[in-house]
Amino acid sequence: MEVSVTAPAARRNGHRPSRSVAVVGGGFGGVAAAVMLRRAGYDDVTVFERGERVGGVWHHNTYPGAACDVPSHLYEFSFAPNPRWSRRYAPQAEIQAYLEDVARRHRVLDRIRTGTEVQSAHWDEERGKWSLETSSGSHEADFLLTACGQLSVPKVPALPGLERFEGPAFHTAHWRHDVDLTGKRVAVIGTGCSAIQVVPAIQPIVEQVDVYQRSPGWTIPKMDFAYTERAQRLFERIPLLQRLDRAAVFAFMELGAAAMTGNRWLLPPFRAVARRQITKTIEDPELRDKVTPSDEVGCKRVMLTDEWYPTLTEPNVELVTAPIAELTPGGIRDASGTERAADALVLATGFRSHDFVAPMEIIGRDGLALAQAWEEVARAYLGLSVPGFPNMFLLYGPNTNGGTGSVIYTLEAGMGHVIAALRELERAGADRIEVSDEAAGEFDRELREALAGTVWHTGCTSWYVDENGNDPSQWPWLWSSYRRRTERLEPGAYRLSSSADVLAHG
Ligand SMILES: Cc1cc2nc3c(=O)[nH]c(=O)nc-3n(C[C@H](O)[C@H](O)[C@H](O)COP(=O)(O)OP(=O)(O)OC[C@H]3O[C@@H](n4cnc5c(N)ncnc54)[C@H](O)[C@@H]3O)c2cc1C
């Protein structure tokens, strides 16, 4: 499953490609870009990361219990397998350490400028360059790659009275490690992927945790376990074993993707497992009702957990389903008028997933702003390129998220496409590449038609779909098809040109 990145012809002949690339974002996407470009012979790469370290979400999300929900043999780079994962699902700190280690071992750490935010990027049509304004000065590059992630900007809902709450209040992505929750009454708002990890992690130490739920999501067993030293050694000595495990996990994920997209007849077994998880662990019929979703399994992101329901049955946990009316200085009043005291407030309220590259401003050809091109909904050809924005590619861009699968796989496939584009330029002796309106329009029609038949559009509220019913998030096919469609350039999909042509024809 590794995207092949052998050296292009120019490099094999002893000549290194000289194109410069600016990458915005130093998470898995930014590191994948730097490593894969380097391996393909492109050395002039600068990665900008506004955080103090590389890592992206794994640097920012340090809440108790933070861990992967994809088995780590798939949630890792295909070109950097780690036989030494301590668990089936690695915890946050281990993933962060892995990513830093990959960047170090592949000698790209020195290309990553941390603590530097890119505020804007402008395409200079005459010179065929991207001009970046960053928090530490200007920068110029031939290519712009955005690797800003879909879940890097926390979302805080407009909660009446939030400013009046007197205790510490923080988002899971900005965990306050200086706040000791031991023996405290804690209110957690949200029951999504972060909440189901953080609540079981803090429940044993707090006096009381009240969890405020807007609508429940389906869960299936995670079946997490620690790898023994012997298992780790086996993976180390026989890499094939790890590759086989990776392939098995991938195949299972593809089954899930098939069920959620065109093959909904595959959903009943998933629904049965999800229902069984509730009935097996919860006896109280009222609590069972509260946690049982009314929507189809998979419509919202299916969550993996072994601990969520048992935790909800603990005597110091209350699941509150009445809507929040307001925050008071000392707690939360719900719509039924009940006020519950809280010493601290945890916002497990997710991310601004539809903003993509925002707040960075990107201005393409003829002064077109990306925000303007995306006024109705963010869209991009294969999630990667947008007409009017030459020499620009988006990693983990619009419609490249899945109900299953590993984002790392998606990022590598996207980078495979970028490298194919760079090679095409070398081959053609050109220096500009831009997706055509026709290819982008045709892809968009195909995509929207396929999305309509997926489980994500069966009438739930989820972070995939916006308030107008637009879906800028999901890939409505199998993951193998993403890889297949991105690994080479479709004939005619892109227009190639050279600066000399542009200058000659105005
Ligand atoms: C808590 C949590 C758990 C997750 N668990 C899983 C999982 O189990 N499996 C899975 O497949 N996915 C998971 N994800 C999704 C995750 O987003 C991807 O797996 C992956 O980490 C995305 O990598 P990325 O590099 O594209 O984006 P990110 O990791 O979000 O990194 C983007 C980086 O870009 C930086 N940035 C953005 N804009 C600018 C700018 N203008 N200038 C400079 N820097 C900028 C940000 O600071 C950030 O560090 C999880 C996400 C979260 C939040």
- Is 356 close to ligand 1, i.e. is its CB under 6 Å away? no
Distance CA 31, CA 76 (A): 12
**Tokens in use for 30?**
């930014």
Ligand 1: centre distance to CA 435 (Å): 26
Residue ranges in the chain whose pLDDT is less than 50: 1-14, 506
Return the SS3 of 506.
Answer: coil
Distance CA 479, CA 401 (A): 10
Ligand 1: centre distance to CA 350 (Å): 12
Ligand 1: centre distance to CA 319 (Å): 29
- For residue 505, the model assigns a pLDDT of 55
At 183-215, the pLDDT tens digits run 999 999 999 999 999 999 999 999 999 999 999
Helix (H) or strand (E) holding 419: helix 407-428
Q: Which residue has the tokens 């997710």?
A: 350
Distance CA 480, CA 228 (A): 31
- CA-nearest residue, atom 37 of ligand 1: 148
- CA dist list (Å): 151 to 61, 84, 172: 10, 27, 12
- For residue 11, the model assigns a pLDDT of 44
- For residue 503, the model assigns a pLDDT of 54
Answer for the pair 291, 180: CB distance below 8 angstroms, yes or no.
no
Ligand 1: centre distance to CA 71 (Å): 17
Ligand 1 atom with least separation from CA of 134: 42
DSSP class of residue 441? H
Distance CA 56, CA 23 (A): 13
Answer for the pair 73, 81: CB distance below 8 angstroms, yes or no.
yes
- Is 29 close to ligand 1, i.e. is its CB under 6 Å away? yes
From the list 172, 179, 181, the residue with the least C-alpha distance to 349 is: 172
For a ligand 1 pocket test, name from 50, 57, 394 the mutation site with the most ligand atoms within 8 angstroms of its C-beta: 57
Distance CA 473, CA 101 (A): 30
Ligand 1: centre distance to CA 333 (Å): 34
pTM: 0.94
- For residue 177, the model assigns a pLDDT of 98
Helix (H) or strand (E) holding 304: strand 303-304
Phi and psi at 226, nearest 5°, equal -85, 140
